[in-house]
Protein backbone atom coordinates (compact mmCIF):
# COMPACT_ATOMS: atom_id res chain seq x y z
CA UNK A 1 0.00 0.00 0.00
CA UNK A 2 3.07 2.24 -0.19
CA UNK A 3 2.11 5.62 -1.66
CA UNK A 4 -1.60 4.81 -1.98
CA UNK A 5 -4.06 7.63 -1.28
CA UNK A 6 -7.01 6.44 0.80
CA UNK A 7 -10.22 8.20 1.81
CA UNK A 8 -11.51 6.82 5.10
CA UNK A 9 -15.20 7.53 5.66
CA UNK A 10 -16.40 7.27 9.26
CA UNK A 11 -20.06 7.23 10.29
CA UNK A 12 -22.00 7.36 13.55
CA UNK A 13 -21.34 3.94 15.06
CA UNK A 14 -19.78 2.72 18.28
CA UNK A 15 -17.32 0.89 16.02
CA UNK A 16 -15.85 4.29 15.06
CA UNK A 17 -13.12 3.71 17.64
CA UNK A 18 -11.70 1.02 15.32
CA UNK A 19 -11.03 3.74 12.75
CA UNK A 20 -8.08 4.91 14.86
CA UNK A 21 -6.44 1.49 14.54
CA UNK A 22 -7.29 1.41 10.84
CA UNK A 23 -5.62 4.78 10.18
CA UNK A 24 -2.51 3.74 12.07
CA UNK A 25 -2.27 0.50 10.07
CA UNK A 26 -2.64 2.33 6.73
CA UNK A 27 -0.04 4.95 7.67
CA UNK A 28 2.43 2.29 8.87
CA UNK A 29 2.15 0.63 5.46
CA UNK A 30 3.01 3.89 3.71
CA UNK A 31 -0.45 5.07 2.68
CA UNK A 32 -1.75 8.63 2.92
CA UNK A 33 -5.12 8.85 4.66
CA UNK A 34 -7.77 11.55 4.37
CA UNK A 35 -10.62 11.17 6.84
CA UNK A 36 -14.16 12.24 5.92
CA UNK A 37 -16.52 11.93 8.88
CA UNK A 38 -20.27 12.45 9.22
CA UNK A 39 -21.59 14.80 11.93
CA UNK A 40 -22.86 11.76 13.86
CA UNK A 41 -19.44 10.13 13.59
CA UNK A 42 -17.90 13.02 15.57
CA UNK A 43 -20.07 12.01 18.53
CA UNK A 44 -18.14 8.72 18.76
CA UNK A 45 -14.55 9.74 17.98
CA UNK A 46 -12.97 13.20 17.91
CA UNK A 47 -11.50 14.85 14.81
CA UNK A 48 -8.42 15.71 16.90
CA UNK A 49 -7.65 12.00 17.38
CA UNK A 50 -8.19 11.27 13.71
CA UNK A 51 -6.15 14.21 12.40
CA UNK A 52 -3.29 13.39 14.77
CA UNK A 53 -3.12 9.81 13.50
CA UNK A 54 -3.65 10.62 9.81
CA UNK A 55 -1.52 13.80 9.83
CA UNK A 56 -4.22 15.49 7.76
CA UNK A 57 -7.10 17.78 8.73
CA UNK A 58 -10.38 15.90 9.09
CA UNK A 59 -13.15 16.83 6.65
CA UNK A 60 -16.75 16.84 7.85
CA UNK A 61 -18.58 19.83 6.39
CA UNK A 62 -18.78 21.32 2.92
CA UNK A 63 -17.77 24.71 4.30
CA UNK A 64 -15.03 24.72 6.96
CA UNK A 65 -14.93 28.50 7.55
CA UNK A 66 -17.02 31.55 6.84
CA UNK A 67 -14.49 32.96 4.40
CA UNK A 68 -15.78 31.42 1.19
CA UNK A 69 -13.49 28.38 1.23
CA UNK A 70 -15.03 24.93 0.88
CA UNK A 71 -14.12 21.26 0.70
CA UNK A 72 -14.38 19.84 -2.81
CA UNK A 73 -15.81 16.32 -2.88
CA UNK A 74 -14.96 16.20 -6.60
CA UNK A 75 -11.26 16.87 -5.97
CA UNK A 76 -11.25 14.24 -3.20
CA UNK A 77 -12.84 11.67 -5.49
CA UNK A 78 -10.18 12.28 -8.13
CA UNK A 79 -7.31 12.26 -5.59
CA UNK A 80 -7.97 8.84 -4.07
CA UNK A 81 -6.70 5.41 -5.06
CA UNK A 82 -9.40 3.85 -2.86
CA UNK A 83 -12.20 4.81 -0.50
CA UNK A 84 -13.18 2.78 2.55
CA UNK A 85 -16.26 3.50 4.67
CA UNK A 86 -15.62 1.93 8.05
CA UNK A 87 -17.77 1.78 10.02
CA UNK A 88 -20.71 2.03 7.63
CA UNK A 89 -24.07 2.33 9.38
CA UNK A 90 -27.40 1.20 7.93
CA UNK A 91 -28.33 4.86 7.35
CA UNK A 92 -25.17 5.64 5.37
CA UNK A 93 -25.43 2.39 3.40
CA UNK A 94 -29.00 3.35 2.45
CA UNK A 95 -27.90 6.83 1.37
CA UNK A 96 -25.02 5.48 -0.69
CA UNK A 97 -27.23 2.90 -2.39
CA UNK A 98 -29.86 5.48 -3.31
CA UNK A 99 -27.76 8.56 -4.03
CA UNK A 100 -28.96 10.66 -1.09
CA UNK A 101 -26.13 13.19 -1.06
CA UNK A 102 -26.91 15.13 2.12
CA UNK A 103 -23.45 15.05 3.71
CA UNK A 104 -19.81 15.31 2.71
CA UNK A 105 -19.18 11.57 2.98
CA UNK A 106 -21.92 10.53 0.53
CA UNK A 107 -21.13 13.30 -1.97
CA UNK A 108 -17.48 12.20 -1.88
CA UNK A 109 -18.59 8.61 -2.52
CA UNK A 110 -20.70 9.69 -5.49
CA UNK A 111 -17.73 11.60 -6.95
CA UNK A 112 -15.15 8.89 -6.29
CA UNK A 113 -13.52 7.36 -9.37
CA UNK A 114 -11.55 4.84 -7.32
CA UNK A 115 -12.65 1.45 -5.92
CA UNK A 116 -14.90 1.73 -2.85
CA UNK A 117 -14.87 -0.66 0.11
CA UNK A 118 -17.69 -0.75 2.67
CA UNK A 119 -17.44 -2.30 6.14
CA UNK A 120 -20.93 -2.48 7.68
CA UNK A 121 -21.40 -2.14 11.44
CA UNK A 122 -24.78 -2.39 13.14
CA UNK A 123 -27.00 -4.57 15.31
CA UNK A 124 -27.87 -8.03 13.98
CA UNK A 125 -31.55 -7.29 13.27
CA UNK A 126 -30.66 -4.13 11.36
CA UNK A 127 -28.03 -6.01 9.37
CA UNK A 128 -30.39 -8.88 8.56
CA UNK A 129 -33.32 -6.62 7.64
CA UNK A 130 -34.30 -7.06 4.00
CA UNK A 131 -33.91 -3.30 3.39
CA UNK A 132 -30.26 -3.34 4.51
CA UNK A 133 -29.53 -6.50 2.52
CA UNK A 134 -31.20 -5.02 -0.56
CA UNK A 135 -29.09 -1.86 -0.24
CA UNK A 136 -25.91 -3.94 0.13
CA UNK A 137 -26.86 -5.98 -2.95
CA UNK A 138 -27.35 -2.76 -4.88
CA UNK A 139 -23.96 -1.44 -3.78
CA UNK A 140 -22.33 -4.73 -4.83
CA UNK A 141 -23.90 -4.48 -8.25
CA UNK A 142 -22.57 -0.91 -8.56
CA UNK A 143 -19.09 -2.44 -8.26
CA UNK A 144 -18.43 -1.69 -4.58
CA UNK A 145 -16.62 -4.17 -2.35
CA UNK A 146 -18.51 -5.20 0.79
CA UNK A 147 -16.28 -6.35 3.66
CA UNK A 148 -18.57 -8.69 5.57
CA UNK A 149 -19.09 -7.97 9.28
CA UNK A 150 -18.18 -10.54 11.88
CA UNK A 151 -20.36 -12.30 14.45
CA UNK A 152 -20.09 -11.90 18.19
CA UNK A 153 -21.10 -9.75 21.14
CA UNK A 154 -22.70 -6.48 19.97
CA UNK A 155 -23.10 -3.10 21.67
CA UNK A 156 -26.80 -3.83 22.19
CA UNK A 157 -25.91 -6.81 24.38
CA UNK A 158 -27.12 -9.25 21.72
CA UNK A 159 -24.94 -11.79 20.00
CA UNK A 160 -24.92 -12.17 16.22
CA UNK A 161 -23.64 -10.84 12.88
CA UNK A 162 -23.04 -7.11 12.66
CA UNK A 163 -19.61 -6.39 14.20
CA UNK A 164 -17.43 -4.33 11.91
CA UNK A 165 -14.55 -6.37 10.51
CA UNK A 166 -11.33 -5.98 12.47
CA UNK A 167 -8.88 -3.33 11.17
CA UNK A 168 -6.21 -5.92 10.31
CA UNK A 169 -8.75 -7.87 8.23
CA UNK A 170 -9.83 -4.71 6.39
CA UNK A 171 -6.20 -3.81 5.61
CA UNK A 172 -5.62 -7.36 4.32
CA UNK A 173 -8.62 -7.10 1.97
CA UNK A 174 -7.37 -3.83 0.53
CA UNK A 175 -3.80 -5.09 0.20
CA UNK A 176 -5.09 -8.12 -1.71
CA UNK A 177 -7.02 -5.79 -4.00
CA UNK A 178 -4.03 -3.57 -4.76
CA UNK A 179 -1.87 -6.63 -5.36
CA UNK A 180 -4.52 -8.29 -7.54
CA UNK A 181 -3.28 -9.36 -10.94
CA UNK A 182 -4.71 -7.54 -13.92
CA UNK A 183 -4.69 -10.62 -16.13
CA UNK A 184 -7.33 -9.26 -18.53
CA UNK A 185 -5.58 -5.95 -19.14
CA UNK A 186 -6.04 -4.79 -22.76
CA UNK A 187 -8.53 -7.60 -23.42
CA UNK A 188 -11.95 -6.80 -24.85
CA UNK A 189 -14.72 -8.89 -23.31
CA UNK A 190 -18.30 -9.17 -24.58
CA UNK A 191 -20.93 -10.47 -22.12
CA UNK A 192 -24.62 -11.09 -22.64
CA UNK A 193 -26.86 -10.88 -19.58
CA UNK A 194 -30.48 -11.25 -18.54
CA UNK A 195 -33.50 -12.61 -20.41
CA UNK A 196 -35.05 -11.62 -23.72
CA UNK A 197 -38.71 -10.69 -24.13
CA UNK A 198 -40.57 -11.83 -27.24
CA UNK A 199 -43.70 -9.75 -27.81
CA UNK A 200 -47.12 -11.30 -28.21
CA UNK A 201 -48.88 -7.95 -28.28
CA UNK A 202 -48.01 -4.49 -26.87
CA UNK A 203 -48.51 -5.65 -23.24
CA UNK A 204 -47.65 -9.38 -23.24
CA UNK A 205 -44.48 -11.30 -23.96
CA UNK A 206 -42.78 -14.69 -23.77
CA UNK A 207 -39.87 -14.56 -21.32
CA UNK A 208 -38.03 -16.46 -18.61
CA UNK A 209 -36.86 -16.08 -15.02
CA UNK A 210 -33.33 -14.82 -15.69
CA UNK A 211 -32.37 -11.77 -13.61
CA UNK A 212 -28.98 -10.94 -15.12
CA UNK A 213 -27.14 -11.41 -11.79
CA UNK A 214 -24.63 -13.92 -13.15
CA UNK A 215 -23.85 -11.79 -16.19
CA UNK A 216 -23.41 -8.69 -14.05
CA UNK A 217 -21.09 -10.59 -11.69
CA UNK A 218 -18.97 -11.66 -14.66
CA UNK A 219 -18.84 -8.07 -15.91
CA UNK A 220 -17.72 -6.82 -12.49
CA UNK A 221 -14.93 -9.39 -12.22
CA UNK A 222 -13.70 -8.79 -15.77
CA UNK A 223 -13.66 -5.02 -15.23
CA UNK A 224 -11.74 -5.36 -11.95
CA UNK A 225 -9.18 -7.54 -13.68
CA UNK A 226 -8.46 -4.92 -16.30
CA UNK A 227 -10.72 -5.82 -19.23
CA UNK A 228 -12.60 -3.45 -21.50
CA UNK A 229 -16.10 -4.86 -20.97
CA UNK A 230 -19.27 -4.50 -23.03
CA UNK A 231 -22.52 -5.99 -21.73
CA UNK A 232 -25.42 -6.61 -24.08
CA UNK A 233 -28.18 -6.38 -21.57
CA UNK A 234 -31.65 -7.88 -21.82
CA UNK A 235 -34.49 -6.37 -19.76
CA UNK A 236 -33.40 -6.80 -16.13
CA UNK A 237 -34.75 -5.34 -12.88
CA UNK A 238 -31.59 -5.37 -10.74
CA UNK A 239 -29.23 -2.46 -10.05
CA UNK A 240 -26.43 -1.02 -12.12
CA UNK A 241 -23.26 -2.44 -13.58
CA UNK A 242 -19.66 -1.72 -12.62
CA UNK A 243 -19.09 1.94 -13.52
CA UNK A 244 -16.45 1.20 -16.19
CA UNK A 245 -18.62 -1.23 -18.17
CA UNK A 246 -20.21 -0.20 -21.48
CA UNK A 247 -23.86 -1.26 -21.54
CA UNK A 248 -26.05 -1.89 -24.58
CA UNK A 249 -29.74 -2.42 -23.77
CA UNK A 250 -31.89 -4.73 -25.89
CA UNK A 251 -35.23 -6.44 -25.46
CA UNK A 252 -35.70 -9.24 -28.00
CA UNK A 253 -33.54 -12.13 -29.18
CA UNK A 254 -33.30 -10.52 -32.63
CA UNK A 255 -31.95 -7.31 -31.10
CA UNK A 256 -29.43 -9.24 -28.99
CA UNK A 257 -28.37 -11.26 -32.06
CA UNK A 258 -27.74 -8.11 -34.11
CA UNK A 259 -25.67 -6.46 -31.35
CA UNK A 260 -23.64 -9.61 -30.69
CA UNK A 261 -22.79 -10.07 -34.37
CA UNK A 262 -21.77 -6.41 -34.64
CA UNK A 263 -19.63 -6.39 -31.47
CA UNK A 264 -18.02 -9.86 -31.63
CA UNK A 265 -15.34 -9.23 -34.26
CA UNK A 266 -13.56 -6.68 -32.05
CA UNK A 267 -13.58 -8.89 -28.94
CA UNK A 268 -11.03 -11.30 -27.51
CA UNK A 269 -13.54 -13.13 -25.29
CA UNK A 270 -17.31 -13.50 -25.51
CA UNK A 271 -19.30 -14.94 -22.60
CA UNK A 272 -22.88 -15.77 -23.55
CA UNK A 273 -24.61 -15.71 -20.18
CA UNK A 274 -28.01 -14.38 -21.26
CA UNK A 275 -31.06 -16.66 -21.24
CA UNK A 276 -32.13 -15.99 -24.82
CA UNK A 277 -35.61 -17.16 -25.77
CA UNK A 278 -35.47 -20.08 -28.22
CA UNK A 279 -38.80 -19.15 -29.80
CA UNK A 280 -40.86 -16.08 -30.61
CA UNK A 281 -44.46 -15.62 -31.79
CA UNK A 282 -44.74 -15.86 -35.56
CA UNK A 283 -46.96 -12.79 -35.51
CA UNK A 284 -47.10 -9.90 -33.05
CA UNK A 285 -50.44 -8.21 -32.57
CA UNK A 286 -50.29 -4.43 -32.94
CA UNK A 287 -53.04 -3.96 -30.35
CA UNK A 288 -53.78 -5.73 -27.07
CA UNK A 289 -55.54 -9.05 -27.66
CA UNK A 290 -58.90 -8.84 -25.85
CA UNK A 291 -59.86 -11.85 -23.79
CA UNK A 292 -63.56 -11.10 -24.24
CA UNK A 293 -63.26 -11.58 -28.00
CA UNK A 294 -61.38 -14.88 -27.85
CA UNK A 295 -62.44 -18.06 -26.06
CA UNK A 296 -59.04 -19.55 -26.88
CA UNK A 297 -55.74 -18.16 -28.09
CA UNK A 298 -53.29 -20.19 -30.13
CA UNK A 299 -49.75 -18.97 -30.61
CA UNK A 300 -47.58 -20.22 -33.45
CA UNK A 301 -43.96 -20.02 -32.40
CA UNK A 302 -40.93 -19.89 -34.67
CA UNK A 303 -37.27 -20.36 -33.79
CA UNK A 304 -35.12 -17.38 -32.95
CA UNK A 305 -31.71 -16.96 -34.54
CA UNK A 306 -28.98 -18.91 -32.72
CA UNK A 307 -26.51 -16.38 -31.32
CA UNK A 308 -23.99 -18.92 -30.00
CA UNK A 309 -23.95 -20.90 -33.26
CA UNK A 310 -23.42 -17.75 -35.35
CA UNK A 311 -20.58 -16.47 -33.16
CA UNK A 312 -19.07 -19.98 -33.21
CA UNK A 313 -19.11 -19.81 -37.00
CA UNK A 314 -17.52 -16.33 -36.96
CA UNK A 315 -14.89 -17.14 -34.30
CA UNK A 316 -11.24 -16.44 -35.18
CA UNK A 317 -8.16 -18.23 -33.87
CA UNK A 318 -7.41 -15.63 -31.18
CA UNK A 319 -10.96 -15.50 -29.80
CA UNK A 320 -12.51 -17.51 -26.96
CA UNK A 321 -16.24 -18.21 -26.91
CA UNK A 322 -17.91 -19.34 -23.69
CA UNK A 323 -21.50 -20.52 -23.45
CA UNK A 324 -23.93 -21.31 -20.65
CA UNK A 325 -26.40 -24.15 -20.40
CA UNK A 326 -29.32 -24.86 -18.10
CA UNK A 327 -30.78 -28.36 -18.31
CA UNK A 328 -33.39 -30.24 -16.31
CA UNK A 329 -32.22 -33.70 -17.42
CA UNK A 330 -29.07 -35.27 -18.91
CA UNK A 331 -27.31 -32.00 -18.13
CA UNK A 332 -23.70 -32.93 -18.81
CA UNK A 333 -24.44 -34.85 -22.00
CA UNK A 334 -26.58 -32.03 -23.39
CA UNK A 335 -24.01 -29.40 -22.40
CA UNK A 336 -21.17 -31.30 -24.11
CA UNK A 337 -23.24 -31.69 -27.26
CA UNK A 338 -24.03 -27.95 -27.27
CA UNK A 339 -20.35 -27.09 -26.77
CA UNK A 340 -19.28 -29.11 -29.82
CA UNK A 341 -22.22 -28.19 -32.05
CA UNK A 342 -21.77 -24.45 -31.50
CA UNK A 343 -17.96 -24.41 -31.62
CA UNK A 344 -17.58 -23.14 -28.04
CA UNK A 345 -14.31 -23.25 -26.13
CA UNK A 346 -16.01 -23.85 -22.81
CA UNK A 347 -19.51 -24.22 -21.42
CA UNK A 348 -20.85 -23.49 -17.94
CA UNK A 349 -23.62 -25.86 -16.87
CA UNK A 350 -25.99 -24.29 -14.37
CA UNK A 351 -27.65 -26.36 -11.68
CA UNK A 352 -31.25 -26.30 -10.50
CA UNK A 353 -30.95 -29.28 -8.17
CA UNK A 354 -29.85 -27.42 -5.03
CA UNK A 355 -31.47 -24.68 -2.98
CA UNK A 356 -29.70 -21.42 -3.72
CA UNK A 357 -28.70 -22.18 -7.32
CA UNK A 358 -30.24 -21.05 -10.59
CA UNK A 359 -32.38 -18.05 -11.40
CA UNK A 360 -32.82 -15.07 -9.02
CA UNK A 361 -30.47 -16.29 -6.28
CA UNK A 362 -27.28 -14.43 -5.31
CA UNK A 363 -25.55 -17.82 -5.18
CA UNK A 364 -25.02 -20.52 -7.77
CA UNK A 365 -23.53 -23.98 -8.35
CA UNK A 366 -22.05 -24.82 -11.76
CA UNK A 367 -19.93 -27.30 -13.69
CA UNK A 368 -17.35 -26.05 -16.20
CA UNK A 369 -16.76 -28.29 -19.22
CA UNK A 370 -14.00 -27.55 -21.76
CA UNK A 371 -13.41 -28.78 -25.34
CA UNK A 372 -11.41 -31.76 -24.11
CA UNK A 373 -14.37 -32.87 -22.01
CA UNK A 374 -12.62 -32.04 -18.71
CA UNK A 375 -15.19 -31.21 -16.02
CA UNK A 376 -14.67 -28.89 -13.07
CA UNK A 377 -17.48 -28.87 -10.51
CA UNK A 378 -17.80 -25.63 -8.52
CA UNK A 379 -19.81 -25.90 -5.28
CA UNK A 380 -22.43 -23.43 -4.09
CA UNK A 381 -20.89 -19.93 -3.84
CA UNK A 382 -21.89 -16.33 -4.43
CA UNK A 383 -22.25 -15.48 -8.09
CA UNK A 384 -19.30 -13.07 -7.86
CA UNK A 385 -17.14 -15.92 -6.51
CA UNK A 386 -18.42 -18.21 -9.28
CA UNK A 387 -17.53 -15.48 -11.78
CA UNK A 388 -13.97 -15.35 -10.40
CA UNK A 389 -13.67 -19.12 -10.91
CA UNK A 390 -14.98 -18.90 -14.47
CA UNK A 391 -12.59 -16.08 -15.38
CA UNK A 392 -9.66 -17.96 -13.80
CA UNK A 393 -10.49 -20.89 -16.08
CA UNK A 394 -10.72 -18.67 -19.16
CA UNK A 395 -7.35 -17.05 -18.37
CA UNK A 396 -5.75 -20.51 -18.08
CA UNK A 397 -7.14 -21.41 -21.52
CATH of the domain at 361: 3.40.50.10300
Q: Is the pLDDT of residue 93 over 70?
A: yes
Q: 234 and 276 share a domain?
A: yes
Q: For position 352, what pLDDT does the model report?
A: 72
Q: Is the pLDDT of residue 69 over 60?
A: no
Q: 126 and 98 share a domain?
A: yes
> Torsions phi, psi of 309, nearest 5?
-65, -40
CATH number of residue 137's parent domain? 3.40.50.1950
Domain of residue 249: give its range.
188-396
Q: 167 and 238 share a domain?
A: no
Q: For position 178, what pLDDT does the model report?
A: 81
Q: 283 and 136 share a domain?
A: no
Q: 33 and 162 share a domain?
A: yes
Q: For position 241, what pLDDT does the model report?
A: 67
Q: How many CB atoms lie within 10 A of CB 314?
A: 15
Question: Of 71, 208, 334, 343, which is the active-site residue?
Answer: 208
Final residue before a domain boundary, out of 114, 144, 179: 179
Interacting residues of 145 by C-beta distance below 8 A, sequence separation 6+? 115, 116, 117, 118, 173, 177
Over range 68-86, report the average pLDDT: 76
DSSP one-letter code for 168: H
Q: 196 and 163 share a domain?
A: no
Q: 174 and 193 share a domain?
A: no
Q: 135 and 240 share a domain?
A: no
**pLDDT confidence tier of residue 362, bands split at 50, 70 and 90:** confident
Q: 89 and 210 share a domain?
A: no
Q: 195 and 173 share a domain?
A: no
**pLDDT confidence tier of residue 356, bands split at 50, 70 and 90:** low
Q: 215 and 311 share a domain?
A: yes
Final residue before a domain boundary, out of 162, 179, 196: 179
Residue 233 designated active-site: no
Q: Is the pLDDT of residue 314 over 90?
A: yes
**pLDDT confidence tier of residue 327, bands split at 50, 70 and 90:** confident
Which of these, 37, 13, 43, lies nearest to 23 by C-alpha position? 37
Number of domains in the chain: 2
Final residue before a domain boundary, out of 179, 197, 231: 179
- Does the pTM surpass 0.75? The reply is no
Q: 192 and 160 share a domain?
A: no
**pLDDT confidence tier of residue 328, bands split at 50, 70 and 90:** confident
Which of these, 229, 276, 283, 237, lies nearest to 255 by C-alpha position? 276
Amino acid sequence: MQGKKIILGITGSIAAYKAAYLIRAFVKKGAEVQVVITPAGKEFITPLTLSTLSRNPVISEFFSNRDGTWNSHVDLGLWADAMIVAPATAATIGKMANGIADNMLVTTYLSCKAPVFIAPAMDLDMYNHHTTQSNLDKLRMFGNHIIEPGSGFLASGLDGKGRMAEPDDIVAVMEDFFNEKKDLLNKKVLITAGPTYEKIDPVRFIGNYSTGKMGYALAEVCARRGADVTVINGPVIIGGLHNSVHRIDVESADEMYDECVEQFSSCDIAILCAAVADYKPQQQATEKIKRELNEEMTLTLVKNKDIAAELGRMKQEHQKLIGFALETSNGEANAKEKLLRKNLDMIVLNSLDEEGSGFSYDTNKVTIIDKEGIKTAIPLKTKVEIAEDIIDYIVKM
